[in-house]
Amino acid sequence: MGQPEEAGNALRRDVTVWGSFMWGYADVGADIYTALGLVAGAAMGATPVAFAVAGIVYLLVGLAYTELASSYPVAGGGQYFTLRGLGDVWGFVCGSALLLDYTIDISLFAVSSSGYFNFFLPALGVNIQSFAVNIGPFVGVNVLWLIETLLIIMFLVAINYVGIKISSRINEVLGAIAIIGQVVIVIFGFVFAWDPNQMLLQMRLQFPDMHNFMYGSSLAIISFVGLESISQVSQETRRPATIVPRTSISLVLNVLIFALAFSVLGMGLLPWQVLGAHAGDPIAIVAQKIPIIGAIAAPMTALIGGVIVLISSNSGVMSASRLTYSMSTFQLLPEWFSAVHPRYHTPYRTIVVFSGVAVVQAILAFLSGGAMNTLANMYAFGATFGYLLVFISLIVLRFKDPFTPRPYRMPLNVSLKGQGDGAPRIAFPVLAVIGFLGVGTILFEVILTHAIGRIAGPAWVLMMLLFYYIYRRKAGLPPWRALPRDWEAQQRHTLREAEEFELLAEYEQALADKAARGGQST
């Protein structure tokens, strides 16, 4: 059980260095376009502080994913790492939490993309608010915005169905344009418009109470969710052990700089109330306040924002489909989900099914009368819960699987004696413990302050666990025990298929040394 998939049912390695970076940037770099207004509406004058707190946690998450994704370049991301470290049930639980995150990723950023494009409607004489109607007990349902969102999701399903090469190329081109636009706005904003006194005055006089700050900082994690995308696409990345560390570290620094820059710039240009009132297009409102380029910067930013958030939604489609593909190949989900299109080599069934879940989420969110707030309220639960299990798995795998080569290792380690005579020493990751505590704090904030997320998130995981139990019972598999798996054969296959021959030789030597000592299989 759990043997490497056959070549005919494998994903194709079509993602380049730039493509790998842009898959991550598409999911993470776009998030500030959505998060700034939502966070400002909660954290008030402490908006930059909320982003900084979330950014520190994000940095540690990024380091953990860099190690794990380069060591185990297999579709599945956090779910696969947890499966390797903690077994089937926890691997499924982690996958369920992250799947909730990905489906909300699709719907939330499709809503946000539409919001940025709607920035242009007043110039056409169209008032988007005039399309808000009452449908029975549901008040203020914006029908036009909902239709736009559904059309975007269907478009993304189509391009991902055809193949990741086309989807990745779209990310690469549009993402490059977005990065250039962001640099221009940040530079011109700080040079010609930023007022540090306004930001400091808001921080001093309008600092939120503890509840609102916790809510705001937990929402700020939205700006940094998405590192999973690089690990999800690592099975389709060429030479992942070489590429993933470079792209992940670059992404972490890039996104951290932009998120902090936009939050500081925004608070030095506008009152937090204005940012909070424009949750649909906050960066465009910031750009509009910049002199000299403001007249063209606002529409340019709205266009860039709409595009970059669109490819973030696209990244959600990819990640959800690859995650469920991985879960199916390891018998955590029915085999039906692991089918790969014979022509396009894409997991087409999971693309359609879980994009359909995103459609349902979008419809329900619009019926609530506040689509973005409703979706954002649930978004952080899946990510923080999944990341918590990833940090535990990283620590466990350092002890359980010290033989797998790690092209990148989280810094700040304590050397411990290995298990058994002659066993390799264990590098205990201190930063992983700190990261676990940081993510745990954010998860605590989510449970305490997110009225919808603390109910819908656990309910989703429990519902998925019920599905898991029924599937495993019907398939004649133990519901609560891990299946026997040859992880060494799996790792050999992964490194060979990724053409990481030097790492494969290093791994083979480590296993030979273990066998000479009479060690047991991992």
Average pLDDT for residues 89-115, to the nearest whole number?
92
CA dist 15 and 383 (Å) reads 24
One-character DSSP codes across 252-292: HHHHHHHHHHHHHHHHHHS-HHHHHHTTTSHHHHHHHTSTT
Check residue 494 and give its pLDDT: 86
CA dist 393 and 512 (Å) reads 25
CA dist 322 and 78 (Å) reads 12
372 vs 44: which has the higher pLDDT: 44
pTM: 0.85
Half-sphere exposure of 12 (CA within 13 A, CB side): 14
Average pLDDT for residues 509-518, to the nearest whole number?
84
Greatest alpha-carbon span in the chain? 78
510 in any annotated domain: no
3-state secondary structure of 140: strand
Report the percentage of the chain scoring pLDDT > 70: 87
1 in any annotated domain: no
493 in any annotated domain: no
CA dist 257 and 469 (Å) reads 44
Cα R_g (the chain), whole angstroms: 23
CA dist 479 and 486 (Å) reads 19
CA dist 280 and 145 (Å) reads 11
At 111-168, the pLDDT tens digits run 989 988 998 898 888 888 888 899 888 888 999 999 999 999 999 888 877 765 555 5
- Say how many C-beta atoms besides its own lie within 10 A of residue 108's C-beta: 30
CA neighbor of 286 nearest in space, from 268, 303, 304: 268
CB 376 within 8 A of CB 108: yes
Size (the chain), residues: 522
- The CA-based angle 372-22-498, given to 5 degrees, is 125
Please determine, for residue 4, whether its predicted confidence score (pLDDT) is greater than 90: no
| Pair of tokens at residue 150 | 């559904």
For 512-515, which contacts have Cβ atoms below 8 Å and span 24 or more sequence positions?
Answer: 514/403, 514/423
- pLDDT-based confidence at 465, cuts 50/70/90? very high
Residue 50: give the domain boundaries: 11-476
- What are the φ/ψ torsions at residue 330 (nearest 5 degrees)? -100, 20
Check residue 24 and give its pLDDT: 64
100 in any annotated domain: yes
Check residue 213 and give its pLDDT: 95
Please determine, for residue 231, whether its predicted confidence score (pLDDT) is greater than 80: no
CA neighbor of 431 nearest in space, from 98, 71, 54, 57: 57
| Pair of tokens at residue 317 | 């489609």
Number of domains in the chain: 1
- pLDDT-based confidence at 472, cuts 50/70/90? very high
Q: Kind of pairing, strands 426-429 and 413-416?
A: antiparallel
**Residue environment code for 138-155, b if the CB has 16+ CB neighbours within 10 A, otherwise e:** eeebbebbbebbbebbee
Check residue 58 and give its pLDDT: 87
| Pair of tokens at residue 167 | 């989807």
- As a whole number, the mean pLDDT across the chain is 85
| Pair of tokens at residue 320 | 């959800």
CA dist 388 and 518 (Å) reads 34
- pLDDT-based confidence at 477, cuts 50/70/90? very high
188 vs 499: which has the higher pLDDT: 188
3-state secondary structure of 450: coil
Q: In which region does residue 142 sit, left (phi positive, over 0), alpha (psi from -120 to 50) or beta (all else)?
A: beta
At 9-37, the pLDDT tens digits run 444 444 555 656 666 666 666 678 888 99
CA dist 452 and 243 (Å) reads 38
CA dist 347 and 12 (Å) reads 11
Check residue 521 and give its pLDDT: 46
Check residue 86 and give its pLDDT: 95
494 in any annotated domain: no
User: Which 3-state string (H, E, C) describes 422-450?
Assistant: CCCCEEEEHHHHHHHHHHHHHHHHHHHHC
Check residue 323 and give its pLDDT: 84
Residue 66, domain CATH: 1.20.1740.10
3-state secondary structure of 134: strand
CA dist 224 and 206 (Å) reads 25
431 in any annotated domain: yes
CA dist 390 and 139 (Å) reads 40
